[in-house]
Each structure stands twice: as C-alpha cells, then as structure tokens.
Amino acid sequence: MAQSGAGKNGQGRSGGSGAGQGGGKAAPKGKSGASGRQSVAAARRSSPGNNRTQLIIGGIAIVVIIAIVVFGVVLNRQQTATQADGYGGSTQSVATASADGVVTVTKPGSTPKATIDVYEDAMCPACAELERQFGQQIAQQIDNGNLTVNYHMVDFLNRLSPSGDYSTRAAGALLCVAQDSGTQPGVYMALHSALFDSANQPEENGSTDLSNQQLADLAKTAGATEQAQTCISSGTNTQAAAAAAATFMTNLGTITGGRAGTPTVVHNGAPVTLNTDWLSTLVA
C-alpha cells in the first residue's frame, strides 16, 4: 500500500514534470510568433512601395520649397526693380529755389498732373535707394510735363558724417546750383542724382566725405556754371541750408505725426506709400 501510494506520488511528480516541460516548449512558440510579426512589420516598412512613397513625398516637399524660394526672389526683384530703366537723367527740367530753401523742379510751361514734396538727406542710404529705383522715372515724368517736385533737403545725419556737416554742405551745394544754374535744363537733377550715386555718397560713420571743392567738381560735371561752382566751393549757402533744414524737419514731423525720417514723399499733405507703382498712380 505504501509502495503503491509512493507510486502514485511518483506518477504525480512525473505528470507535474511533464506539464512543466510542455509549458517550456509553448514559450518558444510564443516568442517565435512575436518575432514573426515584427519581421512582417519591418518588411512592410522597408518594402519598395513604401520607400517609393516616402521619396515622392520628399520630392514634393523639395519642389514646394524651391517654388517658395523662387517666388520670393522674383517678388523681391519686382519690388526693387529700377523704374523707367534706361531713360537716364532729366533733359527738360529747370529748378527754382524759394526764399525758404525749397527747390522746385518742373518742366517750363507744363501743367503737371501731380506735385510731390520729397524730403531727403544727402547722407541717407535709403534716399540713395529711392534715387536708384525711381530717379529715372521721376526725371521722365518731369520731362513729360506730368510731375513737379519740391525738394526739401534736411541734415539730421550730419552726426554720421566724418566732417560733421556733410549733409548741410551738400544741401547748400544744391541751393547754389538751383540759384545760379537752375535755368539750365537738367543740371539740378544731374547734381541731385550724382550726390546719391554710390561712387559719391559717403558711408554713414565712414572715414571720409566730400569737401566743398569736391562738391563743386560734381556740380561742374553736372553742367553747372562757374558761378555755381564758386558758390559751392566757398560754402556760401551752408548757413542758409542749415536754417532751411531745421524748418523742413519741423514740418516733416508735423506731416508724419512725429515720425520724421528720410526719404519721405508727400502728396496733398500726406506721406506716400512707396510701392512699385506709387508714381505711376499719381500721374495716371
């Protein structure tokens, strides 16, 4: 009986052992199934079709980026393009200086469609950009009799010139030409353009600017008379230009609500937004 009982117990242990072995075999099967599913997922991820889709999406993204960049470049070129490029300088305009230093440029005998007031500083880089982009178009519209321009030269950028008074002296040079050579067609406008040419305009906080004699030489190249050249080289109008500039800055502050800056173009008492077609719109 005891042996028999011992046998049953032995069978129980054997059965337990069998069950344990069976469970041990089932575990590898489970791991194998998970590994298989991972392999399938990996295969899907690395399948040629999926890679092709990723390449297509990547290619589309690159094309879109290129299109945006190209559009931006084209738009920038349009917005900064030189208007009336190739026209050159004015050949029909004359200039007259008023007692308060405003220089009016127009075509004699014309009835302009628009009159604008332009506030500039000879040291101002943005004014040079205005001249580069719209100077020829302004000259063209004056010569066509469509436009009159009142120039107000200010000098708040004197502090950035090596001499400390370049803006005032350049404004004085323009006054000399308007007074002594203003009846000569195109001369005032020629000097005005020359002052803003990159070959002549001093850099802000630069090491040098133009002397009075150099300003007189520019006026000579523009076609000014000897009398105008002497007026410039001697600095005759420097004080008058300084007084006029102070008044112009006060007026500009009133027009702009205290945000005076250059260049500012004014039409009918209000600042003009300088987009690519601002002048074409005014003279239309």
Structure tokens at 39: 């392999």
Copy the structure tokens of residue 100. Answer: 């308060």
Which has the closest alpha carbon to 205: 154, 163, 262, 156? 163
- How far apart CA 98 and CA 108 sit, in angstroms, is 16
Determine the Cα angle at 237 with ends 236 and 241, to 5°: 160
Of the candidates 217, 212, 219, the one whose C-alpha atom is nearest the C-alpha of residue 163 is 212
pLDDT (tens place) for every residue of the chain, 284 residues total = 434 444 434 443 334 333 444 444 444 444 455 555 565 555 555 566 677 777 788 778 787 777 776 666 555 566 689 999 999 999 999 999 999 999 999 999 999 999 999 999 999 999 999 999 999 999 999 999 999 999 999 999 999 999 999 999 999 999 999 999 999 999 999 999 999 999 999 999 999 999 999 999 999 999 999 999 999 999 999 999 999 999 999 999 999 999 999 999 999 999 999 999 999 999 99
What is the CA 194 to chain-centroid distance, rounded? 22
Alpha-carbon distance 95 to 175, whole Å? 10
pTM for the complete prediction?
0.75
Determine the Cα–Cα distance for residues 116 and 256; give it in Å rounded to an integer.
15
